[in-house]
Structures are given as C-alpha cells and as structure tokens.
Amino acid sequence: MPIVLIVAEQQPDGHLRKATLNAISAGRTLAEKAGAELHLALLSKDPSKLAEELKVQGVKAVHTAAAPELEHYLAEVYAPVIAGLVQELKADYVGMASTAMGKDLMPRVAARLKAAMATDVMAFNGSGADISFTRPMWAGNVFAEVKLTTPVKVFSARATEFPASTGGQPAGEVKAFTPKLEASKTKFVDFKEVKSARPELTEARVVVSGGRGTKGDFKEIEALADELGAAVGASRAVCDAGWVPNDLQVGQTGKVVAPQLYIAAGISGAIQHLAGMKSSKTIVAINKDPEAPIFQVADYGLVADLFKVLPELREALHKLKE
Amino acid sequence: MKILVTAKRVEDPESKIKVKPDGSGIVQEGLKYKINPFDEIGVEEGLRLAAKHGGEVVVVSIGGKEVQEQLRHALAMGAHRAVWVNHTGTLDQLALAGLLQKVAEKEKPDMVILGKQSIDDDQNQVGQYLAEFLGWSQATFASKVESLESEQEKNKVPALQVGADGKTVRVVREVDNGLATLECALPAVVTTDLRLNLPRYASLPGIMKAKSKPIEELTPEKLGVDVTPKIQVLKMSSPPPRKAGIKVPDVATLVDKLRNEAKAV
C-alpha cells in the first residue's frame, strides 16, 4: 500500500503548531484519493508528549525521533532525518503545512530525495497513482493543476484550505526510529518571539487589519480586535514603514489567512494583499476612497473615515453582547 | 568576498495576470517584465556586502535571450559581471537548482543570495534545493531587526553579518511568531525576504557602464545538466470570483448585515 508521510511541527515553545492538524487533514485527503496509508513524523528532543496529541483520526502510525540535536529546528539537521525515514518506509508522498518551517524544510528534503515538489497545495485531484495537485501561482491570480513525475512526491499544504483534524478514532501507534543525524554547518543562535495576547493570525476566527489609512495609528484597530477577540493584521506598506511588526503582514509574501470574518480598515487592496485574504468567509472593507480595489472583494463596503467609524463599530458590537 | 546573485525574469508584479481560455498558460500580450523583486533585494544585499568587505558580485540568470535585460539591470545596479544560462522552454525548480549548482561550482562564491521565491511560480524552493545539492549551509527568509526607515538602511549597511574571520555569516530570519537567528559556515545559500533592504535605483552612469560589462554565455548542455521537467503543469485556471458585495451606508447597517445576513458576529 502506498504511504503518505506528514511531518509534524513543534513550536519553539514546545507546543504543537496548530497548522500541523490542517496538514494531517490534507494528508488524509490525499491518502483517501491515492489509496494510501497516512503516517506522521515527529522530530524532537523529547517527542513523547506531542506524539500522543498526534494520534488523530485516520493516522496509521506516528514515527518519532528523539535526539538533543533535534531541539532547535535546522533544515540541515532535519532534512536527512526525514529523507531517511521516507526511504525506510518507502513512502510515496511526503508533506507538511506551508509554515515558515515547512517552506524551509520540505524543498531540502525533496532535493535529497531528487524529488519534485508542489508548494502551498490547496487541493488534490485524481485517484490511485494518477494524482495531481492544485496550487496558486502569480500571487493567487492563477490556480495551476500540476503533476509531479518523480518517484517520491513532496508538497507543502496551505493550512487554511484544509480543516483541522480532530480526535476521532485513535488507531495509530507510536513507533520510535533512530534518526540519521549529520553534522550541521549551521548553528542556531536564538529565537526572539513576538509575544501577543491576541490569537495567532493564521488561526484566528476574526482578523482586523489596518493599512496605510491608519497612518501608523493602530489603537482603533487593536481596540476593535480586542472587542471581537480577533487577531490584528496589516498591509505590507504598514510593515515596511516599521509601524507594526513584520509578522502581522497579510498577503502573498506575508501570511495567508482565511478567517470567518476579515475587516480591512484603511487598506486599498493591492493584488499582493488580496492574495493573502480573499479566501476569508466574510470580508468587510472600510476605506475613504470609494474606488479602492478592496471593495471589489468585500461583501460589505463602508466608504468612511476609519477613525470615525471604528469606534462606532466597536460600541455597536459591544452593545450586541449586552 | 565573491557573491553570486540571481536575476530571474518575471512578469511585472503590478500587471494583471489573465489565464488563456484553454488553460494552457497566461496571456502574454501586453505584459511587462522585470527582475524578480526578491532577487533584486538579493542583488542589493550582494552589492552592500561587496562594498563593505571588498570583492565581486556575479549575477546569473537562466532563460532565453530576453533575460539579458534582467542581467543588464543588475549590472546597472553595480554587479561586476554576469553569467547567462541560455535555455528556452520550461524549467522546473529541480532543473533551475541543478543549473545554479553547476554555476556555483564553477564560480566558487562565498555566498549565493537568491530571492525566497519568484513571483510567477511562487514555489519558494530553489535556494533550499541548491543548498542541499551543494551540501552548503542554508538560511532562508533573510530579514533584519531594523526597519526599512532606519539609519542602517539609509546608510546601506548590509543586514547579513559576516564574521570577523570571514568564515561565517549571521542571518536574521523571518519565521512564524518572531525572528530566528542562524550562524552559517561559508560558503552558504541565503534567500531574501521583503524587509532585508530597499534595492537602489540604477544610476545613469551605472546604466552606461553596464553596457560594457561582460556577460558569459553557458547552456545546460555545457553545464551537463538534464533539464527535463519533473513538474508538469496540466492546466491553469482563474480563481473562482467572489460574489459581488454591497456598499452599506453606515455602521448600524453594517452591524445588522454582519449579524443577520452573514452571521459573522
């Protein structure tokens, strides 16, 4: 039986990155179409706790590797271990969520396996041995259906396109394997976390984003976000100007989000921004310029000054709760 | 120090990309072409490193005759010479990385700097493939702590920090929830993120000088690389359009719609 191997991601704080659960869904979808078994890989200094969290629906086995060298993620250290496991299992597909780690690691794994790779996969098509991948090109202006012709096929899955896997039947077993460790020419120096009490952008149910129209004043954006329990996002211009941290950037080159509700305030809607949010369920745009392209993708557009209407909106939403 | 940078030819990011009715590709008519913006950031970083540490910036592009425009652009920015791998037809990331590997083995740079992705394929793979093929250290998504309006940026200080002994480079990487710093042994492959720097404009004397800078021509055959694509694009399509939205006159209507129609709050 063919094998789909999904690589789990442990965050620097030790927790499982939630996008892993979406990647497992992607893996399960692929396994069903390809008539394959779904296996997971987890590399960690101490994988014992997270391995249990990974015994989710449809997973045949969780392969764990434990070593002190695996504490801080490095592509050069992780790639030979994953590639070794792929060869040992004779896996046909290996994939991961399109996170920063997924995008850094998977091509190096693919290179080691002389395999072709599809990035940001949104859907799988076909059945049996005849599988193709749907992925975005040109900032999401084009969807391409691609076929990989190498024996092993590598992919990263866009987390927002697949639901998070949940408990269900914990059929899988945890199997330890000995990692194939190689000396690394790269040293981990440090990781500086940008801390926030708000939900993670890519995981939030509601996102409130600000653009150039805020002139760098994010107080009202943040206040509305807190009223809604939302994450704060930003356009590229705002991040480039250094007004808000880089990791708030929503767009083709930033984060791709698809929340239930996306509120864009003072954002004109450059192609590059739209590529990062147009899969959101409901989009609200607030902008002074009635011609702003953001209105073309918005379900509800309000032509107004954000500094005037954001406080009104916050109060109105607050009243709904009472 | 010798730095190899890339200059892929891509559609202007501001242009409207439309899919051909038969799904075989995109409509080429009326499109303008540019150097991939991420590669341009790589060229800029290479120039800053060479200005600080001395040395040479060599720019490489792969494609038909037309990619000489992008090579000339990088030469006009200040790169010293160019390598053109002449090939017409589709190249996938395996082939591109294979060709760059051979060019790097020939040039023996201390560092290869590439864009993290090109804005046509958006694959985000070539730098990582290249690092593995060469067996080199890799640091993707290079960024910096200072903003693009900082003094460091105005003074064109390179963000990549080469160690005092010239044997390592420190790279601040943009990753999920923060910044990760790596120290890579040289030679290394670095890929650029948006906020590494603001690329300079080519000056008029720069443009004039670029005309006489050498471009070496190579081919996949000369480099001994099989470029048969392993990725086949079966079909392209336009994303499904969003259904047309409405303008609301005021906040009260907006809240009503969000609550009763969209059921979003």
- Extents of the domains making up chain B: 2-235
In a shared domain, residues A53 and A126 = yes
In a shared domain, residues A149 and A8 = yes
pLDDT tens, residue by residue, A145-156: 999 999 999 999
User: In the structure encoding, which two tokens stand for residue A233, read together?
Assistant: 């996002």
- Give the architecture (CATH level 2) of B2-235: 3-Layer(aba) Sandwich (3.40)
> Quick check: A258 and A160 in contact, CB under 8 A?
yes
> Which pLDDT value is given to residue A171?
67
Nearest CA in chain A to B169: A186
What is d(CA A315, CA B7) in angstroms, rounded to the nearest whole number?
51
In a shared domain, residues A84 and A157 = yes
- Out of A143, A160, A176, a domain closes at A176
In a shared domain, residues A167 and A281 = no
pLDDT tens, residue by residue, B145-183: 888 888 999 999 999 999 999 999 999 999 988 899 999
Question: Is A185 inside a domain boundary?
Answer: no
pLDDT tens, residue by residue, B99-145: 999 999 999 999 999 999 999 999 999 999 999 999 999 999 999 98
Instruction: Give the count of beta carbons closer than 10 Å to the beta carbon of residue B64.
Output: 12
Q: Say whether pLDDT at A321 is over 90.
A: no
Render the burial of B190-223: b for 16+ CB within 10 Å, e for the rest: bbbbbbbbbbbebeeebeeebeebebeebebeeb
C-alpha pair distances (Å), B114 with each of A113, A210, B162? 22, 30, 17
Query: Is B199 part of the contact surface with chain A (CB cutoff 8 Å)?
Result: no
Nearest CA in chain B to A199: B177
Question: Which residue in A76, A99, A194 is closest to B178 by CB distance?
Answer: A194
Question: Is A105 inside a domain boundary?
Answer: yes
User: In the structure encoding, which two tokens stand for residue B180, read together?
Assistant: 């990760």
Determine the residue among A122, A138, A303, A322 to mutate to test chain B binding: the one whose Cβ has the most chain B Cβ atoms within 10 Å.
A138
Which residues 29-68 on chain B approach chain A with CB closer than 8 angstroms? none
Domain that holds residue A26: 3-176
Question: B182 contacts in A (CB within 8 Å)?
Answer: 74, 186-189
B254/A186 Cβ within 8 A: no
Q: In CATH, what number is assigned to the domain containing residue A83?
A: 3.40.50.620
> Quick check: B8 and B59 in contact, CB under 8 A?
no
In a shared domain, residues A24 and A165 = yes
Question: Is A99 inside a domain boundary?
Answer: yes
ipTM of the complex: 0.95
Question: Is A186 inside a domain boundary?
Answer: no
> Quick check: A55 and A49 in contact, CB under 8 A?
no
> Which pLDDT value is given to residue A170?
63
Nearest CA in chain B to A131: B234
- From B214's Cα to the closest Cα of chain A, the distance in A is 32
Domains held by chain A: number: 2
Question: Is A19 inside a domain boundary?
Answer: yes
> Quick check: B159 and B142 in contact, CB under 8 A?
yes
Question: A271 contacts in B (CB within 8 Å)?
Answer: 13-14
> Which pLDDT value is given to residue A128?
97
What is d(CA B249, CA A283) in angstroms, rounded to the nearest whole number?
16
Query: Is A79 part of the contact surface with chain B (CB cutoff 8 Å)?
Result: yes
